[in-house]
Amino acid sequence: MTAGTKKISRCSCPEGRRTQPQRYLLKLFIAGMSTRSVAAIKSIKRVCRQHLGEDFDLEIVDLYREPQRALQEQIVAVPTLIKKRPAPMRRIIGSMENEKRLMNGLNVTVR
C-alpha cells in the first residue's frame, strides 16, 4: 500500500477550522501477474499519483492467492477496481488503460 499524508491546509472559515483532504481507499482485484494485471496496476498508480498525490491507499488483491475475496466483494470479472472511499462506492471493470474513464470512475477532477 502507498502511505503518506498531504499537508492539511487552513480553511477560510471564521473559526479557522482545519480540513483534511479526502483520502481515497481503492481495491484492485486481479488474477495473477498477467500482462493485463501488470498494465492495470501501472495505469492506476500513475493516474492516482498524478491526480490524487499521496491521498490514496491502493490494495491489490490477487484472486489466485485469495479466491474467497471474490465472493466477499462480489467480483465477477478482472481486473476490477473498487473505490470504497470517498462515497459513493464505485466499480470499474475491465481495461484500466483509459485515463479519462478511470478519472470519471473515481470521480476525480483535474487538479
The domain 24-106 having CATH identifier 3.40.30.10: the answer here is: yes
C-alpha cell at 98: 483509459
- Residues 26 and 16: beta-carbon distance below 8 Å: no
**10-to-18, 46, 48, 52, 61 alpha-carbon distances in Å:** 5, 28, 24, 19, 36
Sequential pLDDT tens for the chain (111 residues): 433 323 333 333 344 444 556 899 999 999 999 999 999 999 999 999 999 999 999 999 999 999 999 999 999 999 999 999 999 999 999 999 999 999 999 988 765
Q: Against a cut of 0.75, is the pTM above it?
A: yes
User: For position 111, what pLDDT does the model report?
Assistant: 57
Enumerate the β-bridge partners of residue 29.
61, 80
3 state SS of 66: coil
Q: What sign does the dihedral 45-77-92-2 (CA atoms) show? A: negative
User: In this predicted structure, what is the pLDDT of residue 27?
Assistant: 98
What are the boundaries of each domain within the chain? 24-106
